[in-house]
Amino acid sequence: MAEETIFSKIIRKEIPADVVYQDDLVTAFRDINPRAPSHILIVPNVLIPTINDVTEADEAALGRMVTVAKKLAAEEGIADDGYRLIMNCNTHGGQEVYHIHMHLVGGKPLGPMLLG
């Protein structure tokens, strides 16, 4: 069994977070250390430690993460100017929390590809 992270506690509402969306498959909340005017994390409700652990059984949640990103980008008012979706994997990818998450980042020109 993979070890739970703080994100599981946020999903279960056991610790405070600025949750902006939740349904049966995913939860979205504002990043505690925003790197842009809009910085939201979208996570599956089930614990998947890294992208390397994803299976076909997770496809519904992963698809939902993208449709929720689109919806939240529109709500944040950043859809037309544009934004970036980022998923980091393991140490070289800069992953810090081992519960997969998609960063929705926008609200300013983001420059070159990498999130510094």
Number of residues located near ligand AMP, criterion CB under 6 A: 12
Q: What residues from 36 to 65 belong to the interface with ligand AMP (CB under 6 A)?
A: 41
Nearer to ligand AMP, 56 or 69 (CB): 69
Among this protein's residues, is 103 annotated catalytic? Answer: no
Nearer to ligand AMP, 56 or 101 (CB): 101
Site stretch for ligand AMP (CB under 6 A), options 28-36, 45-53, 58-66, 70-78: 28-36
- For residue 30, give every residue at least 6 positions away whose Cβ sits within 8 Å of its Cβ, in sequence order, or none: 17, 18, 20, 39, 40, 41
Q: Which of 39, 99, 101, 103 is catalytic?
A: 101
Positions annotated as catalytic residues are 101
